[in-house]
Amino acid sequence: MAEDDKPIIQDPEEEEVNTTWLVTSADMSMLLLCFFILLYSMSTLDTSKLSDTFSSVTKALKGKMDKVATSRVTREEAGVLIDQALMRRQIVESQRKVFAEVKTLQTTKGMEGLVSANFENGVISLRLSGDVLFAPGQAQLSAQGVQALTGLKDFLFRHPDQTVNIRGYTDDVKPVGSRYADNWELSSMRAVNVLRVLMQMGLEPKRLTATGLADMDPLYPNNTEENRARNRRVEIILEKRVMGGQ
């Protein structure tokens, strides 16, 4: 018999079935489950359908999940992710109602054209022109600026569950003839002074924060005077506080 015709004797260990792929498969299944539940939670919420869907998937995977003790995503962790997704959905829907009230506020007498608003991922941004609030190169609020904040006061009082982060922005031109060394200092003092006025109006200090961002994150390129004027602004960022067991 020629050498090439000799039978090949396999090592018995090589015939053993490699089952390590089950770990990766189980991890992927759980991650996909969590991913689709998160997508579902961001669509129109139907609690009964979500509960039925999750129960069906859990029942289908029962037994298979128990065999893989090394799985990094447990059923308990998946439940936490689902709870977080549902809470996030509820927060976004709640904020959407608050934003609808903002749109009404914009048409209120005395507030027309002073405040623009944006809503994204549950965060409400109120934008006021820096040229309305302050004189050029100054951080002290003008009379018109105080009037604009007064128009927002009742709205902010009606929603004590909202944190209020005040962000000051400038253009990219260094202040000239001003007591402030640069735009960082100017934008910070403008944000702080808005905060102080809101505190004087009675808003809780623990709701308020102030941040100066100079010419960071411009709305438009700082290449024309009109664009620079748009970039000089104060933004009031509203986010829902989750208080107690709510």
Could you tell me where in the chain the CATH 3.30.1330.60 domains are found? 106-240
**Which phi-psi region, left, alpha or beta, contains residue 9 (left: φ > 0; alpha: ψ -120 to 50)?**
beta
The DSSP result for 166-188, as a single string, is EEEE--SSPPSSSSSSSHHHHHH
- Sequence-distant (≥ 6) Cβ neighbours of residue 188 within 8 angstroms: 168, 210, 211, 212
The two three-digit tokens of residue 122, written as one number: 């549950």
Residue numbers in the chain where pLDDT is lower than 50: 68-71, 245-246
Half-sphere exposure of 209 (CA within 13 A, CB side): 8
The two three-digit tokens of residue 222, written as one number: 């700082």
**Dist CA 65 CA 54 (whole Å):** 15
pLDDT recorded at residue 89 = 84
pLDDT recorded at residue 69 = 44
Strands 208-212 and 162-169: parallel
pLDDT recorded at residue 10 = 53
**Dist CA 117 CA 237 (whole Å):** 10
Residue 129: φ, ψ to 5° = -65, 130
Q: Check if CATH label 3.30.1330.60 holds for domain 106-240.
A: yes
**């109602």: which residue's tokens?**
97
- Check: CB of residue 207 under 8 Å from CB of residue 144: no
